[in-house]
Amino acid sequence: MRQKVQIIIIIGMVFLYGSTAYGEQETGNNSYQLETLTVTAQKREENPQKIPMSIDVLSSIAIEDAGINNTIDLTRFSPNVHMKNNYTEHVVVIRGISSFSASTYSPASLYVDDVSYSLVHMQNLELFDIERAEILKGPQGTLYGRNSESGVVNIITKQPGKHFEAKVFGEYQSYNTFRSGVNISGPLIEDRLALGGAFQYKSSDGFIKNEHNGDDQAADLEHISGRASMRWTPGDFWDITFIADFMDKDDHIGGYRFIDGPNETEPYKVRKDVSEYYNGEGNTQTLRTRFKGNNFNFLSVSSLLNYKLDRLADSDLFDNPANGRMSIFKIDQRQYSQEFRISSVRDSAFEWLVGLYGFIEETCFDFDYDMISKNKKIMHPVTDIDAKGVAAFGQGTYTLFDRLHLTAGVRFEYQDMEGHLNDGVRKENLEKDLDFTEVLPKFSTAYDISKEITAYASISRGYLTGGYNWAMKPTRDTFHYDPEYTLNYESGIKTTWMDGMLMANLSLFYIDISDKQVTEFDPKTSQKTIENAAKAHSQGVELQFKAAPVQGVNIFAGLGYTEAEFDDFTAIEWNDSHTALIENDYNGKDLPYAPRFNYNVGIQYRSGSGYFCRADLFGTDRFYGDPGNTAEQESYQTVNLRIGYEGDHYDVYLWADNVFDEEYLTYVSPYDKHTIGLDGAPGTFGIKVNYRF
């Protein structure tokens, strides 16, 4: 407790003197301002300080300076955002709202260039050649629809422009890790046609050792990803872009270990007699057609997304030949989507946006679970899910007296799902059609106390779609589950001070969660199932500060506190000896993967002569991996350091992440009678070199 109090006091002192600035710009009177950003969080270009919601924005400069390489890195810079991360599930947890184990969808949506990456397995993206990242907090159902009940992560990639740009980089770090890439873009026909491309490669031996056979590359990896863009501007009003990207992952995933019980191993060490692997590949093609007219703006986004996963896991997590278990899990998804949006031009008392959205998803889940020590198949369900949906949405803001902004929006969404499961081992053949019709409103009011200070309040509704139980030996009665819903009440104030040198934002929220999707045991079959059996709430506060006090110096900090608890959940579970099913009252228990607080504090210096240095401190409170709060990760802190020199055409950086080699888990969960976990990265050191043409 004393350590937590000291940390909060230190953060409070930093808040008093400054905070997060991801870049600065010089003004005419030789003072320095925070970087000015434009976001599209509400599907139109806006100043984030004028949007009536809590939102974090990181520009391309901020992402590069902080050494952010993937979605997990990104979430650490946003208060009240956490990521449940194992090798296949990457669930973004915003304001304490998480999903059940082995879920299909995340309660927080992730979009890349307005294209939804709907499965949780897709959401730990490699981030490269990024224009900016936006994290929206609270339900975003009106503009984004399903699976945005807690918030949205928007990734906007860089697009080619009027000027030639090119960069190559190479990076070497601990555990024989190598990362390299190239970005290049520029005009092919002046003012008409521009092309761009980006490519990245990463390989690593990993930091896990398998003591069963002495393999110190039990979690090695090899990732290849790329993106190509073509931008055509045939006239003053039109901007047409085609984006195609791909990724390929070839990993070993030997990091799961017991953290208690007779099979417990030390951090970064496992005992496995099966070579585990994860192969993933995907590609996306997106056509964006934008028209900016004198009276209205129009945008069309057409996309095709393909994703495949093939994973083999040592399911007994130990080298006991008498209890050898293995599972093979495959996903094959194809997704089509189309969105049309029409919006008003700026500078009018009434601003509006209306749109239509439709999607088709074809997904196959193939799950093969074997008892290899007895040469016996336990189950092999193959589940085909076809989903399609349409939505109409609109939002408008009316401004009174040039200060009072009244916003109302609503989305009408319909979704149809067809699920078919066939398990030849269990002789189970199940079919179920589901359909959901949702009305998702939002209301907000914002008042400009002055040009630099805006207060706001809002209420919004979101939902996480229902679906199918494809992995827990379902029966006809337990094959499907329904949506869960959130209703978010939020108020806050956004302020800018000292001619743009300091920004300070505060938000308060309360979220009511109903029909919560949870796992429990079915007393008829003694098998796990998914039920809409709980009510919960989340409440808390977020503080965000940014400052550029003097030339070259940026100070940054963010603090989030969330209390996310079950209000009504009586779960059917095994007793301690696993001999009988009993009822456990989980009222007042924390939601899984919902730390009470998290924070980031840092300082950065960039001199006019090219020298660069930066320090970041991250803190995460304890969290639990199950509704009963039995599997626990204690609170932890990590420190990252970076120094470097930036020349006219080249940059050199030395960096260290988790400098003090803090041990922590990114995933923790009960497993039979014991607890398993996945280690976060230990202390890691590296050197990076950029060369710009």
pTM above 0.95, yes or no: no
Query: CA-CA distances (angstroms) from residue 411 to 61, 111, 298, 393, 414?
Result: 35, 18, 19, 4, 10
CA distance 286 to 288: 6
CA distance 175 to 216: 10
The token pair that represents 159 in the structure block? 């697009």
What integer pLDDT is reported at residue 9 of this predicted model? 32
Are the CB atoms for 653 and 687 separated by under 8 Å?
yes
The arithmetic mean of pLDDT across residues 53-77, rounded, is 95
Q: Phi, psi (5° rounding) for residue 72? A: -60, -45
What integer pLDDT is reported at residue 34 of this predicted model? 65
Instruction: Map residue 14 onto helix, strand or coil.
Output: helix
The arithmetic mean of pLDDT across residues 496-516, rounded, is 94
Percent of residues, the chain, with pLDDT higher than 70: 95
Nearest CA to 206 out of 259, 250, 254 is that of 254
Chain segment 464-499, per-residue pLDDT in tens: 999 999 988 899 989 999 999 999 999 999 999 988
Chain segment 240-279, per-residue pLDDT in tens: 999 999 999 999 999 999 999 999 999 999 999 999 999 9
The arithmetic mean of pLDDT across residues 225-237, rounded, is 95
Task: Indicate if the alpha-carbon torsion angle 474, 478, 482, 485 is positive or negative.
Answer: negative
Residue 35's pLDDT band (boundaries 50, 70, 90)?
A: low
Percent of residues, the chain, with pLDDT higher than 90: 82
pLDDT at 25 > cutoff 80: no
What integer pLDDT is reported at residue 36 of this predicted model? 64
CA distance 396 to 443: 10
Say how many residues make up the chain. 693
What integer pLDDT is reported at residue 1 of this predicted model? 42
Are the CB atoms for 413 and 466 separated by under 8 Å?
no
- Which residue, chain included where needed, has tokens 């336990």? 378
Are the CB atoms for 415 and 105 separated by under 8 Å?
no
The token pair that represents 628 in the structure block? 């009963």
Q: What is the mean pLDDT of the chain?
A: 91
pLDDT at 15 > cutoff 70: no
Q: Which helix (H) or strand (E) holds 669?
A: strand 665-671
What integer pLDDT is reported at residue 31 of this predicted model? 45
The arithmetic mean of pLDDT across residues 128-148, rounded, is 94
Chain segment 550-585, per-residue pLDDT in tens: 999 999 999 999 999 999 999 888 787 777 888 889
Rounded to 5, what percent of the chain is helix, strand, coil?
5, 60, 30
CA distance 206 to 254: 10
Exposed/middle/buried for residue 363 (C-beta within 10 Å: 0-12, 13-18, 19+):
buried
Nearest CA to 407 out of 113, 78, 44, 56 is that of 44
- Which residue, chain included where needed, has tokens 């863009």? 229
CA distance 560 to 82: 11
The arithmetic mean of pLDDT across residues 420-435, rounded, is 95
The token pair that represents 171 in the structure block? 């990076």
CA distance 134 to 152: 8
The arithmetic mean of pLDDT across residues 285-298, rounded, is 95
What integer pLDDT is reported at residue 498 of this predicted model? 86
pLDDT at 29 > cutoff 50: no
CATH of the domain at 251: 2.40.170.20
Residue 239's pLDDT band (boundaries 50, 70, 90)?
A: very high
Count structural domains, the chain.
Answer: 1
The arithmetic mean of pLDDT across residues 112-127, rounded, is 93
Q: Phi, psi (5° rounding) for residue 206? A: 80, 170
Show the domain range for 669: 2-692
Exposed/middle/buried for residue 362 (C-beta within 10 Å: 0-12, 13-18, 19+):
middle
What integer pLDDT is reported at residue 582 of this predicted model? 86
What integer pLDDT is reported at residue 176 of this predicted model? 97
Three-state SS annotation for 449-513 = CCCCEEEEEEEEEEEECCEECCCCCCCCCCCEECCEEEEEEEEEEEEEEHHHCEEEEEEEEEEEE
Quick one: DSSP state of residue 237? S
Instruction: Identify how many contiguous H helices and E strands the chain contains and give both numbers.
Output: 4, 43
What integer pLDDT is reported at residue 134 of this predicted model? 95
